[in-house]
Amino acid sequence: MEVPAVSLPVVQLAAGASPSPSPSGSTAPAVPSIQDAQESATNAASWVEQNWSTWLAMGLQVLLVLVVAITLRAVVRRAITKLIDRMTRTAQAADGSALSGLLVNVERRRQRAAAIGSVLRSVASFLILGTAALMVLSTFRINLAPLLASAGVAGVAIGFGARNLVTDFLSGVFMILEDQYGVGDTIDAGVASGEVIEVGLRVTKLRGDSGEIWYVRNGEVKRIGNLSQGWATAGVDVTVKASEDLDKVKATLDEVAEKMSKEEPWNELLWSPVEVLGLDSVLIDSMVVRLSARTMPGKSVTVERELRWRVKRAFDAASIRIVGGATAVEDQESPDPSAAVAAPSVYSNAASPQAEAAAPITSQRSVPK
């Protein structure tokens, strides 16, 4: 076994020899003896022996907290993912009818599920890891009251400073959870309207009718009109003369509606038969007949245009005249405006009444003296 090297002054001190004074005459500092070193080592060993159990308990407690937190976080995140997948599969399985299959498209369902899953996973991770961090700090006997107070004050300050951001985020979360609209829907958000191309927790992107892209903050949306959920209504008003035969008008419109409902692609766009609701208004010289039908969401304008086209052609074939509006009047023969105009030959005679009336200055005729 190796013997540790001992310095010469220590050996001399152990032998009882007094240390020699330094050449400058000053006294050198006292060097601890071997007994002092052994006593210090013994004290340190006894302190470690007395506290090692506490250290081990604290380390095991911290390790247990971290293991439980990580395991719980993984389990919760996996459960959330499975829940979102199950909701998506359930919605797909429920799409048995044509109506339910067209309410929510695949991209909308995917983005909504991804957004909800992301929010739930983030909230779960924050709560679990935050609680674990506080438990670890409390294990080391750290007073958490000042820390929690400071965090509360900082949270209040951040909440006041970024209240718009918090409002946008919370509005986006509830909008996604309630499925108010999604990708592919045509909505009227008040501040802008158009087709939804992206749904976020803070901002929703809309493409307007002219191709422009609107970035709408979710916190600014006070009301939403979704034109793509459920079904749309196509309404057409046909104004005819008051003297037309109503039975003939109704028979012609019924024929147009029945023929249109059997042809593609209108048989898919029409979700109910085209109904002749009857006279919407009757005036002295005209009457308005209203047609209505339920259509696929967002296709009401297309159906209305096609229906007007077919009605016009059918009325022309049946000699039913469509007038220009609710206050249309019979065409009356107006007099020829050129009848009151004299022939050009009249103006060639300077003495004619027409020529004298058209002359800007009437010449004074000389009176004979």
Mean pLDDT value across residues 73-97? 74
Q: What is the pLDDT of residue 98?
A: 44
Please state the pTM of the whole predicted model: 0.48
Per-residue pLDDT at 196 exceeds 80: yes
How far is it, in rounded angstroms, from Cα 216 to Cα 198?
Answer: 11
Q: What are phi and psi of 191, to 5 degrees?
A: -75, -20
pLDDT of 131 > 70? The answer is: yes
Residue 103 has pLDDT above 50, yes or no: no
Q: Is the pLDDT of residue 332 over 80?
A: no
Q: Give pLDDT, residue 360.
A: 63
What does the pLDDT average to over 102-113? 60
Closest among 194, 191, 187, 195 to 224, alpha carbons compared: 187
Kindly state the average pLDDT of the residues 48-74. Answer: 82
**How confident is the model at residue 9, as a pLDDT?**
46
At 107, the amino acid letter reads E
Instruction: Please count the other Cβ atoms lying within 10 Å of the Cβ belonging to residue 293.
Output: 25
C-alpha 189/C-alpha 217 separation (Å) is 10
Would you place residue 1 in the very low, low, confident or very high pLDDT band (cuts 50, 70, 90)? Answer: very low
Average pLDDT for 2-24: 45
Q: Residue 97 — very low, low, confident or very high, per pLDDT cuts 50/70/90?
A: very low
Q: What is the pLDDT of residue 71?
A: 93
320, pLDDT greater than 80: yes
- What confidence tier does 93 reach under pLDDT thresholds 50, 70, 90? low
Q: What is the pLDDT of residues 118-128, one digit of tens each?
A: 778 888 888 89
- pLDDT at position 72: 92
Q: What is the pLDDT of residue 91?
A: 57
Cα 253 from chain centroid (whole Å)? 42
Mean pLDDT of 253-268: 84
- Residues forming beta bridges with residue 279, ordered by sequence position: 289
Q: Calculate what percentage of the chain has a pLDDT beyond 70.
A: 67
Query: By mean pLDDT, which of 97-101, 225-229, 327-331, 346-350 is the weakest?
Result: 97-101
For the stretch 261-292, pLDDT in tens is: 888 888 788 888 888 888 888 888 888 888 88
Mean pLDDT of the chain: 74
